[in-house]
Amino acid sequence: MDDAQQLRYSRHLLLDDWPEAAQERLLAAHAVVIGAGGLGAPALLYLASAGVGRITVIDPDTVELSNLQRQIAHSTERIGQPKVDSARAAMTAINPGVQVQAVAQAADEALLTELLPQADVVLDCTDTFATRQLINRLAWRAGVPLVTASALRWDGQISVFDPRRADSPCYACLFPPDAPPEETRCALLGVFAPVVGLMGVMQAGEALKLLAGQGAPGVTDTLAGHTSLAGQLLMLDGRDWSWTRLRAKRDPACPVCGPR
């Protein structure tokens, strides 16, 4: 790192369990973020500000006035712009040293098959069951840790699915693909802005710890004593800010991760 980077990331470097090598890993890392809305917007800002060297953001939508209640990477002046371009402008304004690739299209199988093997972490910031299942399947196939979250009304949840760990379930273990729930989206039912923002910030936090070396083979100098959310489902009730933590186990019959 040069002197400017040392100053920019100095509050990380002051942490006892965040050596310079951890920040160097961030600077060399590639994060793929799928969705630049309520979850993706805060996650992207924190990934950029923390110094993730390369960030690919995927989203087919444009900025609308109704987004601005919670999607903090966008602004009134950027209504009508592709969300990925708006997010890139916000990210580079915070940290011009970050390389941002903006992909203004839906996250289909062909695109993800190309991009995910290049990634060090994937953030699922989408809001449909079928897309979540697709991301999980292709991230698991690529061997890339996946950080996923959701928020609706006053409730949020977050987990990590890490194919590098033999004890980690995948998303399909918790939510079987052959049992889709009734689709519920904030466009119809609403969402409390701080809840979705908090879930997105936590996604960034989990991703940053993974990129810094948490759980990586041979890395012993970073985040000693910290635990990942792999194997756990953390749920928030925004009505009283209470948390529930559930253990999540691998399903031996899972169609995605069951057969090794």
List residues with catalytic annotation. Answer: 186
Positive or negative, the CA dihedral 22, 43, 235, 258 is negative
Taking the CA atoms of residue 118, residue 231, residue 254 and residue 140 in that order, the dihedral angle to the nearest 10 degrees is 0
| Inter-residue contact 214 to 145 (CB < 8 Å) | no
Q: Where are the alpha helices (DSSP H) in 51-127?
A: 83-94, 109-115
- The Cα–Cα gap between 143 and 52 comes to 20
- The Cα–Cα gap between 185 and 181 comes to 12
Decide: helix, strand or coil at residue 103. Answer: strand
* DSSP characters over 136-176: HHHHHHHT--EEEEEEEBTEEEEEEE-TTSTT---HHHHS-
Taking the CA atoms of residue 92, residue 134, residue 38 and residue 165 in that order, the dihedral angle to the nearest 10 degrees is -80
Decide: helix, strand or coil at residue 182. Answer: coil
